[in-house]
Amino acid sequence: MPTAPANPLRFRNAWLAIGFLGVLLDVILSLAPAGSGSLPVSDKLIHFLIYLLLVFWFMQIMPARAAWLWMAFSLLGLALEFAQQQVPGREMDWLDAAANAIGAISGVLISFLSGHRLLLLVDRKLAERFA
């Protein structure tokens, strides 16, 4: 019975922890009461970029999980939009949910185009430095 290839990331657990901190930050910011200030850019762009970056990050760690990552983050974005209905000053916005899903699939696509190598290069440099 063949064994699964070893993950080439030496600091995989650290990279996962950083990713999950990003997810936690997304949840906290999504469920915080609305502030009185306005953003200098479209909130749709912010939704798009956050989900693009989160999925891109996790794709660097788990490239074989592309469909799962896209679905999980799209559903997370949708769930957070529904949850915002319970937060003072916040409301659900279908366009925000769409921006999240489009950002997530963009993270998958950009990761495929980059060959999932960005984090691997950083990981190898750190491994050399701390070897």
Question: How is residue 95 written in tokens?
Answer: 């366009």
Closest CA to 99 of 44, 41, 30: 44
pLDDT digits (tens, 9 = 90+) for 3-56: 555 568 899 999 999 999 999 999 999 999 877 666 677 889 999 999 999 999
In whole angstroms, what is the distance from residue 22 CA to residue 15 CA? Answer: 11
Strands (E), 6-128: none
- Size of the chain, expressed as the number of residues it contains: 131
pLDDT digits (tens, 9 = 90+) for 46-100: 999 999 999 999 999 998 889 999 999 999 999 999 999 999 888 999 999 999 9
pTM (two decimals): 0.88
